[in-house]
Amino acid sequence: MSKNGKIFSSAIVAVLVIGMGAWFLMNSSSDGIAAGSDSTVVAVVNGDEVTRADVKKVASTLPPNAQVSMEQIYPMLVEQIINDRLLEERVSNSEINDDPEVEKRLAEVRSQIVRSLYVERYVSENVTDERVKEEYQKIKKENENVQEVHARHILVETEDKAKSLIDQLEGGADFAALAKEHSVGPTGPKGGDLGYFTKDAMVPEFSEAAFATEKGNYTTEPVQTQFGWHVIYVEDIRNRKVPSFAEMEDIIRNQLNQDVVDELVQDLRQNAEIKKFNWDGEAQSVN
Distance CA 113, CA 111 (A): 5
* Count of C-beta atoms within a 10 Å radius of residue 111: 10
- Determine phi and psi for 138, rounding to 5 degrees: -65, -45
* Count of C-beta atoms within a 10 Å radius of residue 189: 11
* Per-residue pLDDT reduced to its tens digit, 36-91: 688 999 999 999 999 999 999 998 888 877 677 888 899 999 999 999 999 999 99
Tell me how far CA of residue 11 lies from CA of 8, 199, 211, in angstroms: 5, 19, 24
pLDDT at 63: 80
Report CA Rg, the chain: 31
The letter for the amino acid at 116 is: S
Question: What are the beta bridge partners of residue 149?
Answer: 197, 237
Q: Could you list the pLDDT tens digit for every one of the 287 residues in the chain? A: 566 665 655 554 443 333 333 333 333 333 445 556 889 999 999 999 999 999 999 988 888 776 778 888 999 999 999 999 999 999 998 999 889 999 999 999 999 999 999 999 999 999 999 999 999 999 999 888 899 999 999 999 999 999 999 999 999 999 999 999 999 999 999 999 999 999 999 999 999 999 999 999 999 999 999 999 999 999 999 998 889 999 999 999 999 999 999 999 999 999 899 899 998 888 887 66
Regarding pTM above 0.75, the answer is no
Q: Residues near 275 by Cβ (< 8 Å), separated by ≥ 6?
A: 283, 286
- Determine phi and psi for 225, rounding to 5 degrees: -135, 180
Instruction: Please choose, from the candidates 258, 147, 138, the residue with its C-alpha nearest in 3D space to the C-alpha of residue 202.
Output: 147
Class of domain 145-239: alpha beta
Domain ranges of the chain: 23-94, 97-144+247-270, 145-239
Instruction: Please give the angle made by the CA atoms of 183, 186 and 188, to the nearest 5 degrees.
Output: 35
Residue 176 class from Cβ within 10 Å (0-12 exposed, 13-18 middle, 19+ buried)?
middle
- Sign for the CA dihedral angle at 251, 252, 256, 259 comes to positive
